[in-house]
Structure 1
Amino acid sequence: MIPVRGFQGAKVAVLGLGRSGLSAARALRAGGAVPLCWDDNPQARAAAEAEGFACVGLTGPGAFDGIATLIVSPGIPHLYPMPNPVVAAALEAGVPVDNDIGLFFRSLATADWDMIDTLPRVVAVTGSNGKSTTAALIDHILQEAGRPVQLAGNIGRGVLDLDPPGEGAVVVLELSSYQTDLARALTPDVAVFTNLSPDHLDRHAGLGGYFAAKRRLFAEGGPDRAVIGVDEVEGRFLAGQLTEGAADDRVIRVSSGQKLTGPGWQVFARKGFLSEYRKGRQIGSIDLRGIAGLPGAHNHQNACAAYAACRALGLAPKLIEAALHSYPGLPHRSQVIAEAGGVTYVNDSKATNVDSAAKALGAFKRIRWICGGLEKEGGLGALLGQTGAVAKAYVIGREAAAFAMQLDVEAEVCSTMAVAVARAMEQAEPGDTVLLAPAAASFDQYDSFERRGEDFAAEVEMRLRG
């Protein structure tokens, strides 16, 4: 645990008692603060009270009298589409609002660091798609290199549940826009921006607000090195804002699909080969085509970003290359779950928006595509023209018929995962890939994308067993 500093003897309100909220309450208490907790869910309050935390209402008159700050869990709106009533009460009372990420950055360094020769470093990864894979890949490479490393944030452990890092250690954080938007302290040593595509637009009042939330990691944090995906205009704009000139190697530009040129530092992938250029000279190259855990151009972009971050930490290209080959992949992200009769079964349940689904569709040659769910704002228009490898779509979800009508491929309305898997397996031919890439949220039928992916895997396994 990382005890929270700066609030000794102060009352600190904690809103939301899930993983990050309870972790924050524990770390506040460990640092000498007095947490006052609330969650609308009675079971969550009971769990907190069982650990000795006081649960009090935070919206009545004078509720924020004497409270130093309010810590808010990521899923709770603090501005758009409208602030949660507790957040609104804090703002009305002039009480600062923060989250566990802000507490982490303000509490990480300790007096013990004066005795450390090689200070711990923090790598923070954000973006629309690929940030989980990129963060996990950085963590894997560092482990393979023998570096002490911990993975946390939107993946793995809560940030305040980490062990205090010691000599030469690295903390790798995956940060969502919900987390970067609110954190009052953001000071990574290396910050990574993978890409940007429309997502969570209601929470950020549009694409501009969404990009602004991601940009805070760089504008507020001032990282020593910034790894920026430049395949979208927002990434190119961000790289331009951070650099002092074309030769400024504090910014490492990353791309999948285009060759990057110039006197600066670039890492890009073309036709399955990763290349590193610095000061106009190639200094590294890796063949990514045979790496099972990183299929498709979108994973090649993730590999470029992870490679660049690890190079910024001083790792050698050959060491990184060896680690890439042993990377097993993440569950629910281009995860091969079975191969039988010449057919490959791939679980990409994490493809919850149209951009990530389009990238998954570009990774395989002939696809039986299971898609559908709770459609996100913006519709499916961005998928048009991206389905050339799809032999047929099998649509699930409560609104499967309406979803299917928006597709530009032959589509069968299946509604349930069981029917979709059965029909796809019946019609699949050797060389086909049965791919779950929903292009939609899971919440119409499942409580998480993980549960949806587990259901897909269970249905496939059951039918393969006969």
Structure 2
Amino acid sequence: MITVQGFEGRRVGVLGLGRSGLATCAALRAGGADVCAWDDSPEGRAKAEAEGFSPVDLTKSGAVDDLAALITSPGIPHLYPAPHPVIAAASAAGVPVDNDISLFFQALADSDDAPRVVCVTGSNGKSTTTALIAHLLEEAGREVRMAGNIGTGVLSIDLPGDEGVVVLELSSYQTDLARRLAPDVAVFTNLSPDHLDRHGGMGGYFAAKRRLFSEGAPERAVIGVDEAEGRYLAMQLGQGAADSRVIRISSGQKLQGPGWSVFARKGFLAEWRGGRQVHAIDLRPLAGLPGAHNHQNACAAYAAVRALGLAPRQIEAGLASFQGLPHRSQLVGERNGVRFVNDSKATNVDSAAKALQAFPRIRWIAGGLGKEGGIAALAPYLGSVVKAYMIGHSARDFALQLGAIPHEICETMENAVARASAEAEPGEVVLLAPAAASFDQYPDFEKRGAHFTALVQGLAEA
């Protein structure tokens, strides 16, 4: 655990008592703060009590007025679509509002032997890129801690020793609020519309991501330039085309110029520096990184660890041993020549499009709690779909947007897996890429993916 100093004997509010909130409470208490913990749910407050914290109702009038700071969990709105009442009260009282990511960087600033820190943000591919960076470093013999949006509260980790690295996945919710950001290497994967209500539109969403670079001032920035926002960010950060502090990455286009770039085309990753190719890797055999979207993740991870001093051959060996993450283009079974792939994390149209481009013949399971626009934007990517099997709340709405694509309304995952597996032929892939949230039938995308995986394993045992 990291001890947060600077609040000895002072009242500090913690709003939201999930995994990161409880870790924040413990880190503040270890540093001598008087922790005022609050969660709107009785379940959250009960968890805090079990950890030895007595909840303090911060919603009461005047409860936040004498706080030294209010530390809030990332899922709680602080501006759009409307600030949480406790945050609004803190803002009105002049109380600084911050988050655990900021406290982490504050703690590192007070350390004499702080580790190197890599931060990864973007719309899609953050988790895979984060895990791949950590894997490549570990395979090269470096001590690594992985935390942030990927599931571990950053203040709950123990800092690595000499030559160690902390790798953080950061969502826009986290980068938007953090008062202190100071990564050594910062990665921007890509940008597509998401969380727009939380950021007041696309401009606010990009601005939240951009803070990691504008406020963080990393020594090295790895920037995906396949969208206009990434190209703009790379231009802003660089001091000219040859500035090697910016490493441009792409999936699908060859990057020109005298600077430092890493790109993937037709399944091959290439690193270029000073106008010449330094190294190339064939990504096509890598089972843990299928498809162009994962090739972009590979480029981002490759660039990040190159910036930390790893040699190309070390990276190539690490890429070959990477098994991928659960629920992200995860091969969960094979039966009679048919592969079953779990991409439950594909909760929006953009991530589903990437999954649909990764395989040639697909039995597609999709649906759930659809987002604005449904799946209309996926029309250019449905050429590989043999048949679609629609589930969940949006099944019928999605079916109406499929045009001439053969489809079936299955409603439940059980029916969809049974029908798809019965009709699939050797060489085809049964792909779960819902293009929708899970909350109509499952508490989260992990539970949805786990259910799909269990059903597939049940087929193998039948």
TM-score, length-normalised on structure 1?
0.97
Aligned to 2:406: 410
- Cα distance between partner residues in 2 of 1:5 and 1:171: 20
- How far 1:384 sits from its partner (Å)? 1.4
- Is 1:328 equivalent to 2:317 in the alignment? no
Contact 2:374 2:397 in 1 (8 A): no
- Is 1:427 equivalent to 2:423 in the alignment? yes
- Cα distance between partner residues in 1 of 2:412 and 2:21: 34
Aligned to 2:26: 26
- How far 1:461 sits from its partner (Å)? 1.5
Aligned to 1:92: 92
Aligned to 2:285: 290
- Cα distance between partner residues in 2 of 1:120 and 1:164: 7
Contact 1:275 1:286 in 2 (8 A): yes
* CA distance 1:292–1:347, shift in 2 (3 Å): same
Cα root mean square deviation, aligned: 1.0
Which range moved further: 197-206 or 252-261?
Answer: 197-206
- Cα distance between partner residues in 2 of 1:377 and 1:160: 35
Aligned to 1:45: 45
- How far 1:33 sits from its partner (Å)? 0.9
- How far 1:230 sits from its partner (Å)? 0.2
Q: Which amino acid aligns with 1:349?
A: S
Which range moved further: 48-57 or 8-17?
Answer: 48-57
Aligned to 2:300: 305
Aligned to 2:445: 449
- Cα distance between partner residues in 1 of 2:219 and 2:447: 38
Aligned to 1:116: none
- How far 1:202 sits from its partner (Å)? 1.1
Residue from 179, 190, 194 that aligns with 2:185: 190
- Is 1:165 equivalent to 2:163 in the alignment? no
- Cα distance between partner residues in 1 of 2:220 and 2:458: 48
- How far 1:110 sits from its partner (Å)? 3.7
- Cα distance between partner residues in 2 of 1:372 and 1:448: 14
- Cα distance between partner residues in 2 of 1:449 and 1:46: 25
- Cα distance between partner residues in 1 of 2:191 and 2:56: 39
Q: Deviations over 1:217-257 (max 9, x none)?
A: 00110000000000000100010110010010000000000
- Cα distance between partner residues in 2 of 1:86 and 1:445: 31
- How far 1:8 sits from its partner (Å)? 1.4
SS at match of 1:344: strand
Aligned to 2:108: 108
Aligned to 2:131: 136
> What number of residue pairs does the alignment pair up?
461
Contact 1:5 1:107 in 2 (8 A): yes
Give the alignment of 1:47-446 within 5 angstroms.
47-113=47-113, 120-408=115-403, 409-446=405-442
SS at match of 2:68: strand
- Cα distance between partner residues in 1 of 2:341 and 2:317: 24
SS at match of 1:108: helix
Aligned to 1:461: 457
Contact 1:2 1:27 in 2 (8 A): yes
SS at match of 1:385: helix
SS at match of 1:384: helix
SS at match of 1:55: coil
- How far 1:378 sits from its partner (Å)? 4.0
Q: 5+ unaligned residues in a row in structure 2: which ranges?
A: none
Q: List structure 1 runs of 4+ shifted beyond 4 angstroms.
A: none
Contact 1:151 1:157 in 2 (8 A): yes
* CA distance 1:111–1:434, shift in 2 (3 Å): closer
- Cα distance between partner residues in 2 of 1:65 and 1:361: 52
Q: Deviations over 1:428-456 (max 9, x none)?
A: 01111000000011011100100000110
- Cα distance between partner residues in 2 of 1:62 and 1:433: 58
Q: Deviations over 1:128-185 (max 9, x none)?
A: 0001000000000000000011110011421001102321110000011111111111
Which range moved further: 41-50 or 449-458?
Answer: 41-50
SS at match of 2:363: strand
Contact 1:364 1:433 in 2 (8 A): yes
- Cα distance between partner residues in 1 of 2:402 and 2:77: 32
SS at match of 2:340: strand
Contact 2:244 2:259 in 1 (8 A): yes
- How far 1:54 sits from its partner (Å)? 2.4
Contact 2:65 2:90 in 1 (8 A): no
- Cα distance between partner residues in 2 of 1:221 and 1:377: 33
SS at match of 1:54: coil
Which range moved further: 400-409 or 427-436?
Answer: 400-409
Contact 2:159 2:166 in 1 (8 A): no
- How far 1:85 sits from its partner (Å)? 1.0
Q: Which amino acid aligns with 2:130?
A: A
* CA distance 1:421–1:111, shift in 2 (3 Å): closer
Which range moved further: 270-279 or 373-382?
Answer: 373-382
Q: Which amino acid aligns with 1:422?
A: A
- Cα distance between partner residues in 1 of 2:24 and 2:371: 31
- How far 1:111 sits from its partner (Å)? 4.4
SS at match of 1:139: helix
- Cα distance between partner residues in 1 of 2:283 and 2:392: 35
- How far 1:398 sits from its partner (Å)? 1.9
- Cα distance between partner residues in 2 of 1:44 and 1:156: 17
Q: Which amino acid aligns with 1:179?
A: Q
Q: Deviations over 1:29-81 (max 9, x none)?
A: 01111110111111221221222212111122211121011111111111111
- How far 1:88 sits from its partner (Å)? 1.0
